[in-house]
Amino acid sequence: MNAIEVNNLTKKFGAFTAVDNVNFTVKQGEIFGFLGANGAGKSTTIRMLIGVLEPTSGDALVGGHSIMKDPEMVKRNIGYMSQKFSLYNDLTVAENIRFYAGVYGLDGKKYEERKKWVLKVANLENMENTLTSSLPGGIKQRLALGTAVIHEPKIVFLDEPTSGVDPISRRNFWDLINDLSAGGTTVLVTTHYLDEAEFCNDIILINAGKIVAQGNSKELKTNYIKNPILEIETDRTVDSLEILEKEKWVGETSVFGNYIHIILNDDTITEKNIIQLLQEQNGINVKRVERIVPTLEDVFIHLIEKDNK
């Protein structure tokens, strides 16, 4: 059974189409990555799926309930956490938990049990009476997720939950997401960190309101870029890039630190041709040329540039 089914979902703000006829399905218990640049339509889509923004047309079933006909039932059955971590900074940890438990109607034994769980996942077991404003970002983020799922929803929406958090906290946070998923919870997460996308079972990439790619990370890497990719390291990165871009057989280029990635238009070109061009004709010392499997970053840059043309 699918946890989420999205059918022809569209949202227009005046003349601007933020989400354009989007279709996808999310299977129960999976971690579903929703990728795209800022302003691509990720948040708008999520806000429709959680029942706070009315679609212009189309519909979606979330946990079996229509977001058009029954947004209230949708709200009862989901958890949601946004990049803003909607905790009350002027309440203590325990007061925040108490409040959200109250909102979802938890009391008695169930409340005590869930409160314990939230404190455990947030690593706040002896800090119940700390004011939330004084917590570090990573801890706040875990507390926010804990309170967002205090009512044990089957489906959780996370809207850029890791933006502005340090790498170690991000990694810990993903462990928590994996735990939720292992427990049978469906997680739909938006991000623009591509390393995080690798943790997702399924990914869609959205650009200008439209889905441009869909699949798991392996499928994305093999299905969307057919041409070979070379990674080149030289001691003059910028000059090398200028020279390479003039060649007809070079498709797209991108720079990753000291490395240059190029997508070839011509299968007959090999490592030797590159060394010849850079080192022998232009006197640039080439340290390394290697044919690589594309990263998700290569795929997304390729797809978005293609889409924007």
- The token pair at 178 is 């994996």
Binding of other proteins by 244 (CB under 8 A): no
Residue 31, burial from CB neighbour count under 10 angstroms (0-12, 13-18, 19+): buried
Interaction mask 23-62, other proteins, x per CB under 8 A: ---------------------------xxxxx--------
In the complex, the smallest distance separating the C-beta of residue 296 from other proteins, rounded to whole angstroms, is 29
In 3D space, the residue among 17, 7, 86, 19 whose CA is nearest the CA of residue 47 turns out to be 19
Question: Which of 27, 84, 120, 306 lies at the binding interface for other proteins (CB under 8 A)?
Answer: 84
Interface stretch with other proteins, choices 61-69, 77-85, 210-218, 293-301 (CB under 8 A): 77-85
Question: Which of 62, 87, 263, 296 lies at the binding interface for other proteins (CB under 8 A)?
Answer: 87
Q: Where are the alpha helices (DSSP H) in the chain?
A: 42-49, 71-76, 93-103, 108-121, 137-148, 167-182, 194-197, 217-223, 237-246, 271-275, 282, 296-308
Interface stretch with other proteins, choices 20-28, 84-92, 184-192, 220-228 (CB under 8 A): 84-92
In the complex, the smallest distance separating the C-beta of residue 46 from other proteins, rounded to whole angstroms, is 10
Binding of other proteins by 86 (CB under 8 A): yes
Q: Which amino acid is at 110?
A: K
Q: How far apart are CA 231 and CA 266, in angstroms?
A: 16
Give the pairing type, strands 202-207 and 229-234.
unpaired
Site residues (vs other proteins, CB under 8 A)? 13, 50-54, 72, 75-76, 78, 80, 82, 84, 86-91, 95, 98-105, 107, 148
